Amino acid sequence: MPTSSAKGPGLAPGPFRHPPGLPLRARLTVPDARNPFARSEYPSPVRLGVLDIGSNTVHLLAADVHPGGRPLATTSDRTVLRLMRFLTPSGAISEEGVQALLTAVVQARAIAERERVDALLATATSAVREAANGAEVIARVEAALGQPLQVLDGETEARLTFLAVRRWFGWAAGQILLFDIGGGSFEVAAGSEELPDIAVSVPLGAGRSTVMFLPDDPPGEEAVERLRAHAADVFAPVAARFSALPRPDHVVGSSKAIRSLARLVGYPAPGWSGSERMLLPRAALGSWIPRLARLPASARQELPGITPDRTFQIVAAAVVLHTAMTAMRVEELEVSPWALREGVLLRYIEDRAHDADH
């Protein structure tokens, strides 16, 4: 069943809370209570790090930031894990998987220290959150990091990603509908403001869907149809709920999987200042799914845009995304360069700048 929430009281559970008088602002807590935007402590800009422990990768992004400005990335380091493959029959992450995760976390911490970040914002998403031994894994990760880990629920993931997308495309984009594919979950959010009116998370991530429905290589047409039917059942009530909102002016997709699919079947269009936009049509995506399902993973990685770390999961990603676009009556989406990590940075910048002013 999808989980969802809307703007208003109770917007941000867990480590996210509202400051008095600002009911629409989610706040990200960090272990260091210092405010890097207080002039007495650091000059502006400051360097922040975001450590994103996802279902597929451990990704560190370091960026120079200042209130009101665009984050300028200085370092991006990724370790591919695909934690879903380490799940035991009981739903726990195996010791082998935990050790691989800890190794990646220690490496990311060393890079963050070398980059001399002023604060490290460490987050984890569905694979760690939902594992049967999640509490133990979180404790071990925190020990390796030397600081608390912020475990994000699916709706908060969607809200932070929506914030990043809104900032990238601007207010002129109007009503935005967002799709985001992770390894464990699939997020949908929509709205015309900074935060979405509705945000929904469903357990249809590319890694999870691959393990549950497409374990064979290649998966074959019957397995693909089973996944498609399951995804259609999951997205039906989601689409019904979003149908109450205005039709989107702009449909956006974020995540590495969507970027890969856009490079495979999409096409470029001119953007502002000569920058290139990537568009992904539903019809082209659908026409590629049978071909992807017939190819073994070793052959898929030879295709444009399909990297070795995504080749095992790209069929499931394509099926789930196509089903979501069909359910929501979306003919085409545009790829966003910004996603969750940028959203975490932007929210932190605003929160600390707000604190510095009060």
Q: What is the pLDDT of residues 215-230, one digit of tens each?
A: 999 999 999 999 999 9
- Tell me, what amino acid is at 222? E
In a 3-state reduction of DSSP, which class is residue 287? helix
d(CA 100, CA 250) in angstroms, rounded, equals 39
List of residues 6+ apart from 76 with CB closer than 8 A = 59, 60, 61, 62
Q: Decide if pLDDT at 149 tops 80.
A: yes
Quick one: pLDDT at residue 273?
Answer: 58
Share of the chain above pLDDT 70, in %: 85
Report yes or no on 335 lying in a domain.
Answer: yes
Q: Are residues 249 and 279 in the same domain?
A: yes
Interval 136-161 mean pLDDT: 96
Structural domain range at position 308: 170-340
Quick one: pLDDT at residue 351?
Answer: 78
Quick one: pLDDT at residue 353?
Answer: 60
Rounded to 10 degrees, the C-alpha dihedral 134/136/137/142 comes to: 120
d(CA 231, CA 208) in angstroms, rounded, equals 12
Q: 């995506």: which residue's tokens?
A: 285
Rounded to 10 degrees, the C-alpha dihedral 133/139/142/144 comes to: -90
Number of domains in the chain: 2
Share of the chain above pLDDT 90, in %: 75
Q: Are residues 319 and 174 in the same domain?
A: yes
Q: What is the pLDDT of residues 23-59, one digit of tens each?
A: 223 444 444 444 444 443 445 678 999 999 998 899 9
d(CA 65, CA 68) in angstroms, rounded, equals 9
Tell me the range of 69-73, 85-89, 236-240 where mean pLDDT is highest: 236-240
Q: Decide if pLDDT at 358 tops 60.
A: no
Report yes or no on 259 lying in a domain.
Answer: yes
- Tell me, what amino acid is at 53? I
Q: Are residues 185 and 127 in the same domain?
A: no
Closest CA relative to residue 225, chosen from 138, 283, 289: 289
In a 3-state reduction of DSSP, which class is residue 63? strand
Is the peptide bond preceding residue 9 cis, with omega within 30 degrees of 0? no
213 or 16: which leads in pLDDT: 213
Q: Decide if pLDDT at 354 tops 90.
A: no
Q: Decide if pLDDT at 168 tops 90.
A: yes
List of residues 6+ apart from 100 with CB closer than 8 A = 81, 86
Q: Are residues 178 and 127 in the same domain?
A: no
Quick one: pLDDT at residue 70?
Answer: 85
Report yes or no on 18 lying in a domain.
Answer: no
Task: Return the H-helix or E-strand segment holding 4.
Answer: strand 3-6
List of residues 6+ apart from 226 with CB closer than 8 A = 213
Reported as a pLDDT band with limits 50, 70 and 90, residue 350 is confident
Return the CATH number at 65. 3.30.420.40
Interval 327-355 mean pLDDT: 89
Report yes or no on 176 lying in a domain.
Answer: yes
Lowest mean per-residue pLDDT among 27-41, 104-118, 159-173, 229-243: 27-41
List of residues 6+ apart from 22 with CB closer than 8 A = 354
Return the CATH number at 208. 3.30.420.150
Q: Are residues 109 and 190 in the same domain?
A: no
Q: Are residues 174 and 147 in the same domain?
A: no
Q: Are residues 243 and 143 in the same domain?
A: no
d(CA 65, CA 348) in angstroms, rounded, equals 10
Interval 136-145 mean pLDDT: 97
Report yes or no on 13 lying in a domain.
Answer: no
Q: Are residues 123 and 222 in the same domain?
A: no
Q: What is the pLDDT of residues 282-329, one digit of tens each?
A: 999 999 999 999 999 999 999 999 988 889 999 999 999 999 999 999
Q: Are residues 320 and 190 in the same domain?
A: yes
Quick one: pLDDT at residue 326?
Answer: 99
Report yes or no on 10 lying in a domain.
Answer: no
Q: Are residues 126 and 62 in the same domain?
A: yes
Report yes or no on 127 lying in a domain.
Answer: yes
Q: Are residues 179 and 316 in the same domain?
A: yes
d(CA 176, CA 200) in angstroms, rounded, equals 14
For 67, counting Cβ atoms within 10 Å of its Cβ (0-12 exposed, 13-18 middle, 19+ buried), the class is middle
Lowest mean per-residue pLDDT among 240-244, 251-255, 336-340, 346-350: 346-350
Is the peptide bond preceding residue 218 cis, with omega within 30 degrees of 0? yes
Task: Return the H-helix or E-strand segment holding 119.
Answer: strand 119-124
Q: What is the DSSP string of 254-271?
A: ESHHHHHHHHHH-EEEE-
Quick one: pLDDT at residue 274?
Answer: 60
Report yes or no on 85 lying in a domain.
Answer: yes
Structure tokens at 102: 């800890």
Q: Decide if pLDDT at 337 tops 50.
A: yes
Instruction: Check: CB of residue 148 under 8 Å from CB of residue 202.
Output: no
List of residues 6+ apart from 164 with CB closer than 8 A = 254, 336, 338, 339, 340, 341, 342, 343, 346
Q: Are residues 239 and 334 in the same domain?
A: yes
Average pLDDT over all residues of the chain? 87
